[in-house]
């Protein structure tokens, strides 16, 4: 469902479209002009933020016309963020939450997805329906009840409380179920004839065949947990336990007038995800396709 890998049109002597027809020069110029315009709109704001974060205390960040490049680039603001809020602790908290979410989502949704797709038992249809219903519930509508549930469990204001509600996403379970259903059944049947039990078939045969979908689940679990804002905002009240997004909101609320500082904080928060995206684009795009069809 992802975007088709680019046809190697670039290796041909002329520039052609996906059907192998030539593109006129005028159209090509127009296309690149538009592409650059959209590039400026979509990526420009990130670069402006990066530029602001590198400007020193003496440089005017408000100048008009604006100066796009810092005159004397400095990492001074990054040191100042760390002095103002415990930004590296927050980053570590975010990493813990995101890492835990990846593990629980991968394990939990693979197991449940396999049970829905391959195992035979009474109540399988009901179990499938439970996950479908859960997927349809709008999270924003249940946050207050989730919060009171966490309080009853004594887990409010803990990182475990941040992870738990999204620890096994219903949509991920259904994604894994579909992936297992698409694996040819014959191999598993052969293993069954050889005497493999459900656990062995799951671990040795089924799981290796759905690695692609598992990677999608892992990436979206990481991104979802790292980027999440509303739930951690509600469940965390102690500043020493903040995740990066809540810490940034706090930084913005308290030091709103210090643009260089906030800019440095946002760069710290966004850089790891952009790096992850740059390395694993394929899976990000694939996830959009699979998620949209299901969701």
Partner 1 sequence: MAGVSRVRRQLPTSPWLFAAPGLLVVGAFVLYPFVSTIVDSFTDRRTLIPGHFVGLANFRELVHDDMFWTGLRNSTLYIAGVVPALVVLPLLLALLVQKNIPGITFFRSAFYTPVVASIVVVGLIWVWLLDERGLVNSLLETVGIGRVGFLSDQWLLLLSAMAVTVWKGLGYYMIIYLAALAGVPRELHEAAAVDGAGTVRRFLTVTVPAVRSTMILVAALSSVAAFKTFSEVYLLAGPDGGPAGEDTTLVMLVQQTGTGLTGRVGYASALSVVVFVVTVALMLLVLRADRRERP
- Work out how close the CB of 40 gets to partner 1 at its nearest, in angstroms, rounded to a whole number: 10
Instruction: Please name the residue that has the structure tokens 């946002």.
Output: 266
Cα(15)–Cα(127) distance, rounded to whole angstroms? Answer: 53
Q: Considering the complex, what minimum distance in angstroms separates the CB of residue 46 from partner 1?
A: 7
Q: How many CB atoms lie within 10 A of CB 140?
A: 9
Distance of CA 51 to the CA centre of its chain: 25
The minimum distance between CB 137 and partner 1, in angstroms, equals: 5
- In terms of C-beta distances under 8 Å and separation of at least 24 residues, what long-range contacts does 203-206 make, across chains too? 206/114, 206/118, 206/180
| Residue 43 vs 92, nearer CB to partner 1 | 43
Listed in sequence order, the residues at least 6 apart from 204 whose beta carbon sits closer than 8 Å to its beta carbon are 191, 196
Q: Which is nearer to partner 1, 82 or 270 (CB)?
A: 270
Provide, rounded to whole angstroms, the least separation between the CB of residue 63 and partner 1: 7
**Interior angle at CA 124, CA 123 and CA 129, nearest 5:** 95
Distance of alpha carbon 126 from alpha carbon 33, whole angstroms: 54
The H or E element spanning position 244 is: helix 244-254
Of 246, 219, 217, the closest CA to residue 233 belongs to 246
Pick between residue 83 and residue 122 the one whose CB is nearest to partner 1.
Answer: 122
Instruction: Name the minimum Å distance from CB 75 to partner 1.
Output: 19
- Tell the smallest beta-carbon distance from residue 80 to partner 1 (Å): 16
> Nearer to partner 1 by C-beta: 82 or 111?
111
Between 20 and 79, CB nearer to partner 1: 20
Tokens of 26: 């005028």
- Identify which of 220, 217, 222, 128 has the alpha carbon closest to the alpha carbon of residue 176: 217
Q: Would you say 178 or 249 has its CB closer to partner 1?
A: 249
Q: In angstroms, what is the minimal distance from the CB of 72 to partner 1? A: 20
3-state secondary structure 80-111: HHHHHCCHHHHHHHHHHHHHHHHHHHHHHHHH
57 vs 295, which CB is nearer to partner 1? 295
């Amino acid at each position: 469902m992802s975007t088709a890998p680019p046809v190697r049109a670039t290796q041909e002597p002329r520039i052609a479209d996906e059907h192998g027809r030539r593109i006129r020069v005028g159209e090509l110029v127009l296309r690149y002009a538009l592409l650059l315009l959209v590039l400026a709109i979509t990526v420009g704001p990130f670069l402006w933020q990066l530029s602001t974060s590198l400007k020193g205390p003496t440089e005017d960040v408000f100048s008009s016309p604006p100066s796009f490049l810092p005159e004397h680039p400095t990492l001074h603001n990054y040191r100042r963020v760390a002095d103002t809020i415990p930004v590296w602790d927050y980053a570590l908290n975010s990493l813990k939450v995101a890492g835990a979410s990846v593990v629980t989502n991968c394990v939990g949704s693979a197991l449940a997805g396999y049970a829905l797709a391959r195992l035979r038992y009474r109540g399988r249809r009901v179990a499938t329906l439970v996950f479908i219903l859960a997927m349809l519930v709008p999270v924003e509508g249940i946050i207050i009840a989730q919060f009171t549930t966490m309080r009853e469990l004594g887990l409010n204001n803990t990182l475990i409380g941040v992870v738990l509600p999204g620890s096994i996403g219903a949509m991920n379970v259904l994604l894994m179920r579909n992936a297992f259903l698409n694996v040819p059944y014959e191999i598993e049947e052969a293993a069954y004839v050889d005497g493999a039990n459900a656990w062995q078939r799951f671990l040795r045969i089924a799981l290796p065949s759905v690695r692609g979908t598992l990677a999608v689940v892992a990436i979206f679990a990481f991104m979802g947990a790292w980027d999440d804002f509303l739930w951690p905002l509600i469940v965390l009240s102690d500043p020493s336990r903040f995740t990066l997004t809540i810490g940034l909101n706090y930084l913005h609320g308290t030091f709103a007038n210090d643009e260089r500082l906030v800019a440095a904080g946002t760069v710290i928060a966004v850089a790891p995800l952009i790096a992850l995206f740059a390395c694993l684009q394929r899976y990000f795009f694939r996830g959009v396709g699979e998620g949209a069809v299901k969701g």
